[in-house]
Amino acid sequence: MRVFLIKAMLSAFSLLPLPVTHLIGIVIGWCLNHVPSELKRVSAVNLKLCLPSLDETSRRHLLQESLIEMAKTATELGPLWYWRKERFTALVKKVSGEEAVKHALERGQGVIIAAPHLGAWEMVGLYCSTRYPITSLYRPPRITELDTLVRKSRSRFGAHMVPTDISGIRALYNALTRGEFVGILPDQEPGTGNGVFTPFYGIPAYTMTLLYRLTCRTKATIFFTYAERLPKGKGYHLHFVPALQDISEFDQAMALEHMNKNIEACVNAIPAQYQWSYKRFRTRRAGEPDYY
């Protein structure tokens, strides 16, 4: 029944204009901010950890805005996953930094799209797949019955979705060797043994090493990429932000610290649109406090 309802809601949202789906997200987010929930609790914990300089009033306001943006992440899936290509691409009102992406591709060493949980991250992969050959790392949803729908939706413009296992990692290397795109969520906690603790907003966070290993081996260019939601459902502004440093020039510890600094810079540009409800500091070292 739950899967049926989710699919029915996505189909219903796909029949609505984007401004209406975002308005519904505003209502849902406002409600989330006024009732106790795990999403609200985790978001509040993360905001206090990562942005301690904010006063209490500013933090409460940012919490409400972030819950609203998180709700939009759900309500906008109908249009993003179901609209035909021409209508979908019309949602992109502005793109910044894509010329640098094209120049990087001309070098033939591939491009890594590092898309944090910021803005409409589903838009990032879909947009890139309409313009470039892209292979994206894919972690199946917790609700296994939705797996087919998610994979079909994300690959509907030609993206190649690969699992988070050895075969998937090999596919990423192969794509970069061919001078293509690969897509990764750089702020997602990796599996045990695939990460190290690196500061994120000053808090040790279990951080993936894959991005560093990919660029060291292939010399691919990294772009931290996010789709900023425009006000009143007017569409999206895509940002392709080149890495502040070539992390392949550093040792792993320093490279991962730079990587997280790049992510922080993107988040700081539109902090309300970051998914603060994600338990980024869930994995702890022995003796460290459980923040959640």
**pLDDT for the residue 142:** 82
**pLDDT for the residue 2:** 80
pTM to 2 decimals? 0.95
User: In which domain, by residue range, is 200 found?
Assistant: 2-273
- Examine residue 51 and state whether it is found in any structural domain, yes or no: yes
**pLDDT for the residue 196:** 96
Output phi, psi for 212, to 5 deg.
-65, -45
Q: What stretches in the chain show pLDDT beneath 50?
A: none
pLDDT in tens, 92-117: 999 999 999 999 999 888 999 999 99
DSSP-derived secondary structure letter, 142: S
- Examine residue 288 and state whether it is found in any structural domain, yes or no: no
- Say how far residue 189 (Cα) sits from the centre of its chain: 12
pLDDT in tens, 125-170: 999 999 999 999 988 888 888 889 999 999 999 999 998 889 999 9
- Examine residue 8 and state whether it is found in any structural domain, yes or no: yes
What is the SS3 assignment for 282? Answer: coil
- Examine residue 209 and state whether it is found in any structural domain, yes or no: yes
- Examine residue 181 and state whether it is found in any structural domain, yes or no: yes
- Examine residue 284 and state whether it is found in any structural domain, yes or no: no
**pLDDT for the residue 250:** 87
**pLDDT for the residue 158:** 95
Quickly list DSSP for 16-81.
S-HHHHHHHHHHHHHHHHTS--HHHHHHHHHHHHH-TTS-HHHHHHHHHHHHHHHHHHHHTHHHHH
- Examine residue 287 and state whether it is found in any structural domain, yes or no: no
- Residue 139 and residue 194 in contact, taking contact as beta carbons nearer than 8 Å: no
Beta-strand (E) ranges in the chain? 92-96, 111-114, 134-138, 160-163, 181-184, 195-200, 203-208, 221-229, 236-242
Query: Burial level of 186, CB count in 10 A (0-12/13-18/19+)?
Result: buried
- Residue 226 and residue 266 in contact, taking contact as beta carbons nearer than 8 Å: yes
**pLDDT for the residue 249:** 84
Q: How many structural domains compose the chain?
A: 1
Distance of alpha carbon 171 from alpha carbon 159, whole angstroms: 13
Element (H, E) at 218: helix 210-218
